[in-house]
Amino acid sequence: MAEHDQNKIQEMIRTSLESIRTMVDANTVVGTPIETPSGTTIIPISKISVGYASGGTDSTAKKASEGKILFAGGGGTGLSVQPVCFIAVDALGNTEVLPLAAGGNGEADTVEKIAALIEKAPDILARIKAVFPKRDKKQKAEEAERVAKEAADAVREAMEE
């Protein structure tokens, strides 16, 4: 890979990681404190999961006379922020950790189930397709002709009885 293209990959990765840093910082994990009128301070605590992938390739132009090296690259990021608990500090300085109960939010459970189903959809579709053999137009026409003949034979037999 040419050095120029290596720089393109490095630039792509650098840009992606800088964007991730702007979305996820210390204030995302330990949220901004919220002051209540009674003097209690509530601090949200979250769990963050980040997945990142990038890649690129280079190839020569289709026409050798052009002598250009073509570069293509891409990247993707998955980000999940999940609230874990709240830290409550009252006006007297007493501190309490208020965990969020697992499975306590029906809406969140439903969303997680839908997300899991969407993730499994390609595998489910592949299994369904495997059950039904792939047929071309000729096979479908032959199948239709065979079924029509069987139906006609069944009608004839019924008429003869």
Whether pTM exceeds 0.85: no
Question: What is the C-alpha to C-alpha distance for residues 1 and 154, in angstroms, rounded to an integer?
Answer: 69
**Per-position pLDDT tens, the chain of length 161:** 455 555 777 887 888 888 777 777 666 778 888 888 888 899 888 888 888 887 777 766 565 556 666 777 777 888 888 888 888 898 888 888 888 865 555 556 666 766 666 676 677 666 666 666 666 777 777 777 777 777 777 766 766 65
pLDDT of residue 84: 86
Tokens of 108: 């969140």
Q: Looking at this protein, which amino acid is placed at residue 53?
A: A
CA 81 to the chain's CA centroid: 14
Tokens of 84: 């874990």
Question: What is the C-alpha to C-alpha distance for residues 62 and 111, in angstroms, rounded to an integer?
Answer: 47
**Residue with token string 């939010």:** 105
pLDDT of residue 62: 62
pLDDT of residue 27: 64
Tokens of 29: 């994990």
pLDDT of residue 146: 77
State pLDDT tens for residues 50-92: 888 877 777 665 655 566 667 777 778 888 888 888 888 988 8
Contacts of 12 (CB under 8 A, 6+ apart): 54, 56, 73, 75
CA angle 99, 89, 37 (to 5 degrees): 110
